[in-house]
Amino acid sequence: MDKDSLIILGVCNKPHGIRGGFTFVLENSQDSVLSKGTSVYLFPSSPASSISSEGEEHKIEKISFGNKTIAYLKDVTDRNVTESMIPFEIKFPRDQFPEAEEGEFYIADLVGIEVLEFGTDELVGKVSDYYDNSVQTILTIRGAKQSFDIPFVENFVPKVDVEARRIWVVIPKLI
């Protein structure tokens, strides 16, 4: 699997129970692409993890969503093995995501897109990353002159054209 085609879905930092369960913290548990039989790719997020630095493919044996997302992986049935694997990132191939609805897109598709200043059309940089701060999604913009994070809300990102690979942002001014 090409690492560049994998999208991070979340992380695992805690085991669940004594039978080898994992507590997944997903970026989007409401519309997750994960289900029984799905293959996920795990990458260590610390040297303490026993997972290979090249990543490992694992099939989901069982998964339940609720207050916490609890997953069991095929052939992992012991809490000691679970604890040795943690912490890790959970990744999934972008090409296996369901097709987006008309006028919608995946936030992961914004990485690498050109960023222009709203009103002047001056090139600011590119979206280099994104994260969720539990209130909204934050885009990380990297440019030659400046780098900054900006909330992905209409007041700061009034226009998105995924097909043209461009977004327009209102750059916050310091008072």
Name the strands in the sheet holding 114-117, side by side, starting at the edge strand that comes first in the sequence. Answer: 147-151, 137-142, 123-132, 114-117, 166-169, 159-161
pLDDT at 20: 93
Say how far apart CA 174 and CA 12 lie, in whole Å.
37
Pairing between strand 21-26 and 6-16? antiparallel
Report the topology of domain 3-96: Elongation Factor Tu (Ef-tu); domain 3 (2.40.30)
Render each residue's pLDDT in the chain as its tens digit; 175 residues: 566 689 888 999 999 999 999 999 988 767 678 999 999 999 999 999 999 999 999 999 999 998 889 999 999 999 999 999 999 999 999 888 888 888 888 888 899 999 999 999 999 999 999 888 778 899 999 988 888 999 999 999 999 999 999 999 998 876 4
Map out the domains of the chain as residue ranges.
3-96, 107-168
Alpha carbons 66 and 30: distance in angstroms, whole number: 9
Q: Which CATH architecture has domain 107-168?
A: Roll (2.30)
Q: What is the pLDDT of residue 4?
A: 67
Instruction: Please report the DSSP string for 1-29 in residue order.
Output: --GGGEEEEEEEEEEETTTTEEEEEES-S
What's the whole-model pTM score? 0.78
C-alpha of 85 from chain center? 20
Give residue 174's pLDDT.
66
